[in-house]
Amino acid sequence: MEPTVLPDPEASRAVLVGMDAYTDMTPLPATAVGAQRLAELLRDLWGLPDSHVTVLGAEASGQEVLSAVRDAAKASSDTLVVYFAGHGLRDLEGENLYLCLADADPEYPQVGTVMYRDLRRVVRVAGAAARYRLTVLDCCYSGLAGAMSAHGLATRTELALALDEDPTQESDPTEDHGDVVLTSAPHDRQSYAPPGATYPEATGELIKILELGIPGIGPELSVTFAWQRVRRRLLARRSPEPQQFAQNKVAESLCFPNRATTVMMSAEASEEVKRYSIELPGSSTETDQTQKNSEDVLSVVPADASELLDWQPTPVGRWRPESEVPYPGDAYFKQQRTNRYLLDGIWADLKKEFKTVRRRLQVPFHARSPLSVAAWLRQSTGDPRWEVIAESVKVLQNRKDGYDPPFTPDPYAAHVPRSPHYQLTGDTVNAYRVRADQLRTDINKLTDLHADS
């Protein structure tokens, strides 16, 4: 598990821009409220002094925005946070992202805007001494920050574009410093701040996670884990898919305190969740109600379920007898074959369980086998308990070693009946079934924690 880090408040700075008023574009009052609330959370969770947090609104010019970022970056030796919420524009070629200020012209992206690449250069050059640089963009087409391709995985060139690096440069993935860029939408999609919503959509989900925490993952909440939760919640609503571009292990190492480790009163937490629930255009009433019910009940730590915070799945361990019984001969073949079929049936049922996991946790299509599903979830969620699940799967999937007749690789060899090495007894099958049932229970429990948090 990667080491996690909480920023040094004295050596960290944050600049948050919430563009709520526009001359020629739709006003976005939720952006200013979101920027202010994030500023409060940075002061509260990380302990940043008031003087280390700068909040800018519609009155700020492009020069004032870049100057504020420059000054904060030069003063940071630990963590620099830059946040922008407002309208975003792209040029006709679809190559460049422009962050819209109050006097932006929607017909001419170069007018009244800050070009993202200019912002990135200021962050990188002025913030060269900062250990971590976190940029969050909640605006339309924000995925252009890294030109995320359609397949959903950032290439080295795309990652370099997002982080303002040389595309040929190969960074050491074990390094514990660098950049992470979070965007609310892909390069070709708009972000949303629904009318009447307290915050922009992606920002609101991030705020909710920081305020309430995530049950069952320990005292710290990594940037990757938090943003994965934002992504899943927005995808469940059929909203644009948030993106993440990270250098080295920054997104896993940089953390917030996890407020879910302190058990909240369920009624109070439920009210906090309801406060940010919104009706989304184009979503069915049934979907919205399901989402709200899920968040109201399960995205907080219930008063009677604090034990889930430290719960760990049970490793399968050895299920075969310490001393295997040698196969006694052909007279046992029929029973041996029946018992092998029983093992196959138990394994098939376990695989069905993983199909349910894939659907509930939105595991991508390429992760199909139980082992690859568990490995993908370990990497995407940062939860080490999936690694325990993966190790247990390895033990159970190799269920017939020595119980099958040895394989003859040469198809032209004379056919000579061959016997298994060991006898597969009913007791051994039952031991396998017990371990599989325990693993199934643990999978369901862990899936519930991730699906509903």
- Tell me: pLDDT of 366 over 90: no
Per-residue pLDDT of 404-414, as tens digits, reads 877 655 555 55
State which amino acid sits at residue 401. D
Q: Which pLDDT value is given to residue 277?
A: 37
Q: What is the pLDDT of residues 33-47, one digit of tens each?
A: 999 999 999 999 999
Distant-in-sequence contacts of 349-352, Cβ < 8 A, 24+ apart: 349/436, 349/440, 350/396, 350/436, 350/439, 350/440
Among 378, 384, 381, 316, which Cα is nearest to 347's?
316
Q: Is the pLDDT of residue 250 over 90?
A: no
Question: Which of 105-114, 156-165, 438-447 is least confident?
Answer: 156-165
State which amino acid sits at residue 21. A
Query: How much is the mean pLDDT over the chain?
Result: 80
Instruction: Give residue 56's pLDDT band: very low, low, confident or very high (50, 70, 90).
Output: very high
Give the angle subtended at the CA of 260 by the CAs of 259 and 264, to the nearest 5°: 95
| pLDDT at residue number 68 | 97
The yes-or-no verdict on residue 177 having pLDDT over 70 is: yes
Sequence-distant (6+) residues with CB within 8 A of 410 are: none
Burial class (CB in 10 A: 0-12, 13-18, 19+), 223: buried
**How long a stretch of residues is the chain?**
453
Q: Are 340 and 424 in contact (CB under 8 A)?
A: yes
The answer to whether 356 touches 375, Cβ cutoff 8 Å, is no
8-23: average pLDDT: 96
Beta carbons of 194 and 280 less than 8 angstroms apart: yes
Q: Output the six-digit token pair for 396.
A: 């159970």
Cβ atoms of residues 45 and 99 within 8 Å: no
C-beta separation of 87 from 190 below 8 A: no
Rounded to 5°, angle at Cα 251 from 99 and 247: 75
Across 38-144, the runs of DSSP E, i.e. the strands, are: 53-56, 79-85, 88-90, 97-100, 113-115, 132-138
Residue 145 has pLDDT above 80, yes or no: yes
pLDDT band at 318 (very low <50, low <70, confident <90, very high): confident
Mean pLDDT confidence for 142-151: 64
Question: Looking up tokens 């795309």, which residue turns up?
Answer: 158
What letter represents residue 160's amino acid? Answer: A
Q: What is the pLDDT at residue 194?
A: 73
Q: Alpha-carbon distance 210 to 216, whole Å? A: 15
Selection from 120, 245, 243 nearest residue 191 by Cα: 243
Question: Distance between CA atoms of 208 and 306, rounded to whole angstroms?
Answer: 20
Would the pLDDT of 182 be above 70?
yes
Amino acid at 241: E
Element (H, E) at 257: strand 255-257
Tokens of 337: 């074959």
> What single DSSP character describes residue 78?
S
User: What number of H helices and E strands is found in the chain?
Assistant: 13, 11
Mean pLDDT within 128-155: 77
Least confident of 6-20, 181-195, 256-270: 256-270
Give me the pLDDT at residue 190, please.
86
Question: Which of 3, 222, 1, 5 is closest to 131 using CA atoms?
Answer: 5
> Looking at residue 237, what is its pLDDT?
81
Task: Give me the mean pLDDT over the 231-246 stretch.
Answer: 88
